[in-house]
Amino acid sequence: MKKRCAQYALDYIKPHSILGLGGGSTIAYLVEMIQAKQLDVTIVTPSVTTAKLCQAAELTVVPMSQVDHVTVAFDGCDEVDGHLNALKSGGGIHTKEKVIATMADDYILLVDESKVSDTLSFKVPLVLEVLPQALAKVKADVLRLGYQVTARMSATSDGYTYTENGNLLLEVTIDSGTCEAIAQQFSAIVGIVETSLFYQIATKAIVVTTEGKRIIERSQIK
Protein backbone atom coordinates (compact mmCIF):
# COMPACT_ATOMS: atom_id res chain seq x y z
CA MET A 1 0.00 0.00 0.00
CA LYS A 2 2.74 2.48 0.95
CA LYS A 3 4.76 1.70 -2.17
CA ARG A 4 1.69 2.17 -4.34
CA CYS A 5 0.93 5.47 -2.64
CA ALA A 6 4.48 6.68 -3.34
CA GLN A 7 4.13 5.55 -6.95
CA TYR A 8 0.96 7.61 -7.38
CA ALA A 9 2.71 10.63 -5.84
CA LEU A 10 5.28 10.62 -8.64
CA ASP A 11 2.60 11.87 -11.04
CA TYR A 12 2.58 15.22 -9.20
CA ILE A 13 6.33 15.83 -9.41
CA LYS A 14 7.60 18.06 -12.20
CA PRO A 15 11.25 18.41 -13.24
CA HIS A 16 13.26 21.23 -11.64
CA SER A 17 10.69 21.69 -8.87
CA ILE A 18 11.21 22.18 -5.14
CA LEU A 19 9.72 19.31 -3.16
CA GLY A 20 8.76 19.24 0.49
CA LEU A 21 9.05 15.76 1.97
CA GLY A 22 7.85 14.75 5.42
CA GLY A 23 8.92 11.66 7.34
CA GLY A 24 7.87 8.02 7.42
CA SER A 25 8.11 4.88 5.33
CA THR A 26 5.88 6.08 2.47
CA ILE A 27 8.18 9.08 1.99
CA ALA A 28 11.17 6.74 2.12
CA TYR A 29 9.71 4.79 -0.81
CA LEU A 30 9.11 8.05 -2.66
CA VAL A 31 12.77 9.04 -2.21
CA GLU A 32 13.82 5.69 -3.74
CA MET A 33 11.53 6.26 -6.72
CA ILE A 34 12.74 9.83 -7.27
CA GLN A 35 16.29 8.50 -7.33
CA ALA A 36 15.38 5.63 -9.69
CA LYS A 37 13.72 8.02 -12.16
CA GLN A 38 16.64 10.46 -11.85
CA LEU A 39 14.31 13.38 -11.35
CA ASP A 40 16.06 16.74 -11.18
CA VAL A 41 14.46 18.20 -8.06
CA THR A 42 15.46 20.06 -4.92
CA ILE A 43 14.33 18.71 -1.55
CA VAL A 44 13.42 20.51 1.65
CA THR A 45 12.42 18.42 4.66
CA PRO A 46 11.77 18.82 8.39
CA SER A 47 12.86 15.21 8.97
CA VAL A 48 16.48 14.36 9.78
CA THR A 49 15.85 10.78 8.64
CA THR A 50 14.39 11.86 5.30
CA ALA A 51 17.27 14.29 4.77
CA LYS A 52 19.78 11.49 5.28
CA LEU A 53 17.90 9.23 2.85
CA CYS A 54 17.89 11.99 0.23
CA GLN A 55 21.59 12.69 0.70
CA ALA A 56 22.37 8.96 0.39
CA ALA A 57 20.35 8.96 -2.85
CA GLU A 58 22.44 11.92 -4.06
CA LEU A 59 19.44 14.23 -4.19
CA THR A 60 19.88 17.94 -3.55
CA VAL A 61 18.72 18.92 -0.06
CA VAL A 62 18.55 22.54 1.08
CA PRO A 63 17.84 23.93 4.57
CA MET A 64 14.30 25.10 5.29
CA SER A 65 15.65 28.52 6.21
CA GLN A 66 16.73 29.10 2.61
CA VAL A 67 13.32 28.38 1.05
CA ASP A 68 10.22 30.56 0.88
CA HIS A 69 8.30 28.61 -1.75
CA VAL A 70 7.71 24.90 -2.39
CA THR A 71 6.16 23.52 -5.58
CA VAL A 72 4.58 20.46 -3.99
CA ALA A 73 4.92 18.83 -0.57
CA PHE A 74 4.11 15.26 0.44
CA ASP A 75 3.46 13.96 3.91
CA GLY A 76 1.64 11.29 5.87
CA CYS A 77 -0.71 11.65 8.82
CA ASP A 78 -2.45 9.61 11.49
CA GLU A 79 -5.93 10.57 10.35
CA VAL A 80 -7.54 12.75 7.68
CA ASP A 81 -11.20 13.63 7.20
CA GLY A 82 -13.33 14.28 4.14
CA HIS A 83 -12.58 18.00 4.39
CA LEU A 84 -8.81 17.40 4.38
CA ASN A 85 -8.32 18.27 8.02
CA ALA A 86 -5.50 16.09 9.29
CA LEU A 87 -4.03 15.01 12.59
CA LYS A 88 -0.42 14.06 13.33
CA SER A 89 1.05 12.85 16.59
CA GLY A 90 4.04 10.57 16.37
CA GLY A 91 7.06 12.48 15.13
CA GLY A 92 6.74 15.74 17.02
CA ILE A 93 7.99 17.75 14.01
CA HIS A 94 4.57 19.13 13.09
CA THR A 95 5.64 22.79 13.44
CA LYS A 96 8.30 22.41 10.74
CA GLU A 97 5.92 20.29 8.67
CA LYS A 98 3.35 23.10 8.81
CA VAL A 99 5.93 25.64 7.71
CA ILE A 100 6.64 23.59 4.60
CA ALA A 101 2.95 22.83 4.05
CA THR A 102 2.03 26.50 4.04
CA MET A 103 4.86 27.33 1.62
CA ALA A 104 3.66 24.72 -0.88
CA ASP A 105 1.44 25.34 -3.88
CA ASP A 106 0.16 21.80 -3.34
CA TYR A 107 0.30 19.98 0.02
CA ILE A 108 -0.60 16.34 -0.57
CA LEU A 109 -1.24 13.73 2.12
CA LEU A 110 -0.33 10.12 1.33
CA VAL A 111 -2.55 7.65 3.20
CA ASP A 112 -4.39 4.36 2.97
CA GLU A 113 -8.13 3.97 3.41
CA SER A 114 -7.83 3.04 7.11
CA LYS A 115 -6.69 6.59 7.94
CA VAL A 116 -9.66 8.34 6.33
CA SER A 117 -12.83 9.23 8.25
CA ASP A 118 -15.83 11.48 7.60
CA THR A 119 -14.80 13.69 10.51
CA LEU A 120 -11.69 13.45 12.66
CA SER A 121 -12.20 11.07 15.56
CA PHE A 122 -9.03 12.18 17.40
CA LYS A 123 -8.21 8.54 18.11
CA VAL A 124 -4.63 9.71 18.58
CA PRO A 125 -3.76 12.63 20.87
CA LEU A 126 -3.50 16.21 19.68
CA VAL A 127 0.15 17.18 20.17
CA LEU A 128 1.22 20.66 21.21
CA GLU A 129 4.71 22.05 20.80
CA VAL A 130 5.15 24.32 23.80
CA LEU A 131 7.78 26.80 25.00
CA PRO A 132 9.44 25.28 28.12
CA GLN A 133 8.89 28.50 30.05
CA ALA A 134 5.14 28.24 29.38
CA LEU A 135 4.73 24.58 30.40
CA ALA A 136 2.74 25.07 33.61
CA LYS A 137 0.69 27.90 32.14
CA VAL A 138 -0.26 25.97 28.99
CA LYS A 139 -1.16 22.84 30.95
CA ALA A 140 -3.42 24.91 33.21
CA ASP A 141 -5.08 26.57 30.21
CA VAL A 142 -5.72 23.21 28.53
CA LEU A 143 -7.16 21.74 31.73
CA ARG A 144 -9.50 24.75 32.02
CA LEU A 145 -10.81 23.89 28.55
CA GLY A 146 -11.82 20.50 29.94
CA TYR A 147 -9.21 18.33 28.22
CA GLN A 148 -6.78 15.81 29.68
CA VAL A 149 -3.14 16.71 29.02
CA THR A 150 0.18 14.99 29.69
CA ALA A 151 3.77 15.82 28.81
CA ARG A 152 5.49 13.45 26.41
CA MET A 153 8.38 11.79 28.23
CA SER A 154 11.66 10.73 26.65
CA ALA A 155 12.11 7.05 25.80
CA THR A 156 15.86 7.33 26.31
CA SER A 157 16.19 9.43 29.47
CA ASP A 158 14.32 10.28 32.65
CA GLY A 159 12.74 13.51 31.52
CA TYR A 160 10.69 15.35 28.96
CA THR A 161 10.88 14.90 25.20
CA TYR A 162 12.39 17.97 23.57
CA THR A 163 11.91 18.94 19.94
CA GLU A 164 14.80 20.05 17.72
CA ASN A 165 13.55 23.58 18.42
CA GLY A 166 14.23 23.05 22.14
CA ASN A 167 10.54 22.97 23.01
CA LEU A 168 8.36 20.45 24.87
CA LEU A 169 5.56 18.25 23.59
CA LEU A 170 2.20 17.93 25.33
CA GLU A 171 -0.39 15.30 24.36
CA VAL A 172 -4.04 16.26 24.66
CA THR A 173 -6.95 13.81 24.71
CA ILE A 174 -9.81 15.17 22.60
CA ASP A 175 -13.23 13.62 23.27
CA SER A 176 -15.43 15.92 21.20
CA GLY A 177 -15.51 19.16 19.26
CA THR A 178 -15.23 20.37 15.68
CA CYS A 179 -11.87 20.89 13.98
CA GLU A 180 -12.60 24.59 13.61
CA ALA A 181 -13.41 25.05 17.30
CA ILE A 182 -10.40 23.01 18.44
CA ALA A 183 -8.05 24.91 16.12
CA GLN A 184 -9.36 28.23 17.46
CA GLN A 185 -9.14 27.14 21.11
CA PHE A 186 -5.50 26.15 20.94
CA SER A 187 -4.34 28.95 18.67
CA ALA A 188 -5.56 31.35 21.36
CA ILE A 189 -3.29 29.90 24.06
CA VAL A 190 -0.08 31.89 24.40
CA GLY A 191 2.93 29.61 24.82
CA ILE A 192 1.85 27.03 22.25
CA VAL A 193 4.15 27.18 19.24
CA GLU A 194 1.97 24.92 17.06
CA THR A 195 -0.44 22.00 17.22
CA SER A 196 -0.52 18.74 15.28
CA LEU A 197 -3.97 19.57 13.88
CA PHE A 198 -3.62 20.61 10.23
CA TYR A 199 -6.84 22.56 9.78
CA GLN A 200 -7.66 23.54 6.18
CA ILE A 201 -4.03 23.23 5.06
CA ALA A 202 -3.88 20.14 2.83
CA THR A 203 -4.93 20.61 -0.79
CA LYS A 204 -5.18 16.91 -1.69
CA ALA A 205 -5.02 13.42 -0.26
CA ILE A 206 -3.99 10.39 -2.28
CA VAL A 207 -5.91 7.54 -0.69
CA VAL A 208 -4.77 4.03 -1.59
CA THR A 209 -7.50 1.38 -1.57
CA THR A 210 -7.51 -2.35 -2.27
CA GLU A 211 -8.90 -1.57 -5.75
CA GLY A 212 -6.59 1.32 -6.60
CA LYS A 213 -6.73 4.91 -5.42
CA ARG A 214 -9.02 7.85 -4.94
CA ILE A 215 -8.15 11.52 -4.65
CA ILE A 216 -9.70 13.96 -2.19
CA GLU A 217 -9.24 17.51 -3.49
CA ARG A 218 -9.98 20.76 -1.73
CA SER A 219 -11.51 22.15 -4.91
CA GLN A 220 -14.18 19.44 -4.72
CA ILE A 221 -15.09 20.07 -1.07
CA LYS A 222 -18.26 22.05 -0.48
Which residues does the annotation mark as catalytic?
97
Alpha helical stretches, state H, 106-190: 135-144, 179-187
d(CA 13, CA 19): 8
Burial of residue 42 (CB within 10 Å: 0-12, 13-18, 19+) is: middle
Q: Which amino acid is at 182?
A: I
Q: In what order do the strands lie in the sheet with 148-151?
A: 148-151, 168-173, 126-130, 192-195
For residues 215 and 207, the answer to whether their CB atoms sit within 8 Å is yes
d(CA 56, CA 196): 29
The secondary element (H helix, E strand) that includes residue 149 is: strand 148-151
